[in-house]
């Protein structure tokens, strides 16, 4: 049995910052994630996509943000348990006991659910023949845009991911944007920029149509699409990027007795505690009046949740709010001062 002050479920940006907020208060944490590495959606979906709304950082990628957060929490020596999923949660007086699919057991007075939208996987292309090209010529996220330079790229989808990458990759590659409808769901500004590039001949847009076949042996050399008017067109293609969204699964969390509605958990905004004392929900997984699904909102949520976690983990101690700039105790925990 692993004993700790808090168990964090989810190693995305919000879960990582929870380690920091607990750490500066002197609390230890264990982090569990069903993915094989830290970063959550930032790493799985847009590791190289620019992010512009992290305070004091003009621009960073999902990978940059993850790397910086991991560096920031190093002093707290949190243990990570990757490729594991929480299967059971039971209560023992003021503590919670968690069991994972690998039969590890944890006990702590606090559980912080920072699992984003739950476990997820991309909605894949319906063509069976696409499977053999996955990871070689068919991708559902961009992990290394360098390998996409000077390629003929066919991008499928009508949301922000498809539009953002069409715009980004048009600088170095020949991009064709393909969608099953004439209307796009992405940001109007991005679509406007793409339409400008279309007029200049730098991006080709094909709508309304769907993928019907893929040509190639070990790698793709062409695809065929079919329009709603039954016409077919062959497009020279080296790489397919497909952004049809994600299949979200909350998994066993639905059996924990939490207030879940439409795949999100209701919390109070005093400390982001759920209807179960000692279980907190932060980030995209939680909901409350006025909720904004932003990473920076999640940072705020864990800051408040960590205060209540301290009170539960150290019931005999009085919590004292301290600024990191003036607290010698916090600076020692951060390794800035010698103890």
**Residue 306's closest CA among 25, 3, 8?**
25
pTM higher than the cut 0.75: no
Q: What value, to the nearest 5°, has the Cα angle with vertex 13 and ends 8 and 19?
A: 40
The pLDDT of residue 39: 86
266/210 Cα distance (integer angstroms)? 39
Mutual angle of helices 188-199 and 160-169, in 10-degree steps = 40
The pLDDT of residue 51: 87
The pLDDT of residue 127: 93
The pLDDT of residue 248: 60
**Residue 257's closest CA among 276, 272, 271?**
276
For the chain, residues with pLDDT lower than 50 are none
φ, ψ for residue 111, nearest 5 deg: -125, 125
The pLDDT of residue 253: 76
The pLDDT of residue 255: 76
The pLDDT of residue 212: 96
The pLDDT of residue 154: 98
Residues 248 and 264: beta-carbon distance below 8 Å: no
Written as six digits, the tokens of 136 are 């070689």
φ, ψ for residue 212, nearest 5 deg: -115, -30
Q: How many CB atoms lie within 10 A of CB 331?
A: 16
**Residue 68's closest CA among 291, 253, 295?**
295
Written as six digits, the tokens of 146 are 């360098």
Alpha carbon separation from 250 to 87, 115, 228, 273, 302 (Å, rounded): 11, 9, 36, 18, 20
The pLDDT of residue 338: 59
The pLDDT of residue 160: 84
The pLDDT of residue 142: 84
């Amino acid at each position: 049995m692993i004993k700790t002050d808090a168990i964090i479920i989810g190693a995305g940006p919000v879960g990582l910052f929870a380690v920091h907020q607990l750490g500066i208060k002197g609390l230890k944490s264990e982090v569990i994630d069903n993915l094989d590495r830290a970063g959550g959606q930032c790493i799985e979906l847009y590791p190289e996509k620019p992010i512009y709304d992290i305070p004091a950082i003009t621009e960073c990628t999902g990978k940059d943000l993850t790397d910086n957060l991991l560096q920031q929490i190093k002093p707290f020596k949190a243990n990570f348990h990757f490729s594991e999923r929480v299967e059971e949660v039971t209560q023992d007086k003021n503590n919670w006991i968690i069991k994972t699919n690998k039969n590890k057991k944890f006990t702590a007075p606090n559980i912080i659910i920072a699992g984003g939208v739950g476990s997820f996987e991309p909605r894949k292309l319906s063509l069976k023949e696409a499977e053999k090209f996955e990871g070689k010529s068919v991708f559902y996220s961009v992990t290394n845009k360098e390998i996409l330079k000077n390629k003929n790229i066919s991008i499928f989808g009508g949301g922000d991911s498809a539009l953002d990458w069409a715009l980004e990759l048009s600088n170095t590659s020949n991009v064709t944007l393909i969608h099953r409808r004439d209307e796009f769901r992405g940001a109007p500004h991005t679509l406007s920029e793409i339409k400008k590039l279309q007029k200049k001949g730098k991006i080709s847009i094909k709508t309304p149509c769907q993928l019907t076949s893929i040509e190639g042996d070990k790698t793709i050399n062409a695809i065929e699409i079919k329009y709603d008017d039954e016409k077919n067109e062959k497009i020279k293609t080296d790489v397919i990027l497909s952004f049809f969204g994600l299949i979200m699964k909350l998994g066993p969390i639905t059996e924990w007795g939490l207030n879940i509605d439409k795949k999100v958990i209701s919390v109070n905004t005093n400390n982001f505690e759920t209807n179960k004392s000692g279980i907190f929900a932060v980030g995209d997984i939680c909901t409350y009046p006025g909720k904004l699904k932003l990473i920076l909102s999640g940072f705020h949520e864990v800051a408040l949740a960590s205060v209540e976690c301290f009170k539960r983990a150290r019931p005999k101690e009085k919590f004292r709010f301290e600024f990191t700039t003036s607290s010698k105790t916090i600076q020692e925990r951060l390794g800035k001062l010698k103890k």
